[in-house]
Structure 1
Amino acid sequence: MITCHLRYVIDPRKLKEFEHYGKVWIGLVNRLGGTHHGYLLPSEGANNIALASFSFPSLAAYEAYRTKSFDDAQCQAAFRYAEETGCIVSYERSFFRPVFE
């Protein structure tokens, strides 16, 4: 299993737009074979940092999802929404693997 962790710098004046963006992507990731673990929005402390995590069975499965997302009309609409609203300033993507006992 591989988990993609996203750290977003968001425009705090556009939190409502970012929350909508996140809700859309939860369904899209799940539909395209992943397991979305949700978004974490600012509450106390920094008002411009948000987080998200989702998992795929393997890095290859994640890469297949990314390829599909570029051809998927709903994914492309979500990308455009973020661009048009300016709710995301920047983001970092990191990958993790779980360690169990």
Structure 2
Amino acid sequence: MVTCYLRYVIDPEKLTEFEKYAKMWIPLVNKFGGIHNGYFLPSEGANNIALALFTFPSLAAYEQYRNDSFADADCMTAFQYAKDTRCIISYERSFFRPVFD
């Protein structure tokens, strides 16, 4: 199991646009076999940082999702929406594995 952590630097004047973008991706991750753990938008503190977490059974499954997303019409619509609205300034992606008892 691998969880992808995305840290976005967003335009705080385009929070509404970013939230729409986030809501586009939740069902798409699920469509490709992942489990979306949610987006987390600014509340207190920094007004330009947002997070997302989603989990796939393996890094290979995540990589397959990434490859498939570039050929999926709904994913391309989401990518284009972010580009058109310029709600995302930058992002970084990291991967984590859970530790359980």
Q: TM-score range by the shorter chain?
A: over 0.9
TM-score of the superposition, structure 1-length normalised? 0.99
TM-score of the superposition, structure 2-length normalised? 0.99
Q: Where in structure 1 do 4 or more consecutive aligned residues deviate above 3 Å?
A: none
Partner of 1:10: 10
Distance 1:60 1:46 in 2: 34
1:18-62 Cα shifts (integer Å, max 9, x gaps): 000000100100011100000000011100000000000000000
CA drift of 1:94 comes to: 0.2
The 3-state SS of whatever aligns with 2:70 is helix
Partner of 1:50: 50
RMSD: 0.4
Amino acid at match of 1:16: T
**2:36 is the alignment partner of 1:36:** yes
Partner of 2:60: 60
1:49-99 Cα shifts (integer Å, max 9, x gaps): 000000000000000000110000000110000000000000000000001
Equivalent residue pairs, number = 101
The 3-state SS of whatever aligns with 2:42 is coil
Amino acid at match of 1:54: F
Percent identity between the two aligned chains: 72
- Any unmatched runs of 5+ in structure 2? none
